């Protein structure tokens, strides 16, 4: 029996504005957005954490925990191993920090 020739798979491109028909693509894109947001927020947090500690908004041990988490997010993002769940957890964990910068 002759072997069939290799046929390349064609993936359907997602039409714009049709998210409801492609929930997998929407979830993948949302995950990527969360990862990028977590990476940017981690870099931002490392730059402002000293100011927060100096003003007395957070305690020293709390700031060290946040620094470690931010470094972990940056490391995982750089290695390509950051998952959307990790990113969302980090964003939820530091959401309270934003209220000090809304003023």
Rounded Cα distance, 57 and 86, in Å? 25
Residue with tokens 């947001």: 37
11 or 77: which carries more pLDDT confidence?
Answer: 77
> For 57, which DSSP code?
S
* 69, pLDDT greater than 90: yes
Q: Is the pLDDT higher at 91 or at 99?
A: 91
SS3 call for 40: helix
- The lowest-confidence range among 2-11, 24-33, 94-103 is 2-11
Residue 73 has pLDDT above 80, yes or no: yes
Give the angle 58-62-67 at the CA atoms, nearest 5°: 105
Residue 102: its pLDDT value, please?
Answer: 60
What confidence category does residue 17 fall into, taking pLDDT thresholds of 50, 70 and 90?
low
Q: Compute the CA torsion angle 92, 55, 75, 86 (nearest 10 deg).
A: -10
pLDDT per residue as tens digits for the range 21-39 = 666 677 788 889 999 999 9
Domain ranges of the chain: 35-100
N- to C-terminal Cα separation, the chain: 74
* pLDDT of amino acid 43: 94
């Amino acid at each position: 029996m002759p072997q069939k020739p290799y046929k390349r798979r064609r993936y359907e491109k997602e039409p714009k504005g049709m998210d409801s028909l492609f929930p997998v693509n929407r979830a993948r894109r949302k995950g990527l957005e969360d990862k990028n947001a977590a990476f940017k927020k981690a870099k931002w947090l490392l730059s402002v954490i000293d100011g927060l500690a100096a003003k007395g908004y957070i305690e020293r041990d709390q700031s060290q925990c946040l620094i470690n988490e931010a470094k972990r997010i940056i490391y995982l993002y750089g290695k390509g191993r950051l998952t959307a769940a990790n990113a969302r957890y980090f964003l939820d964990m530091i959401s309270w920090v934003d209220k000090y910068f809304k003023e």
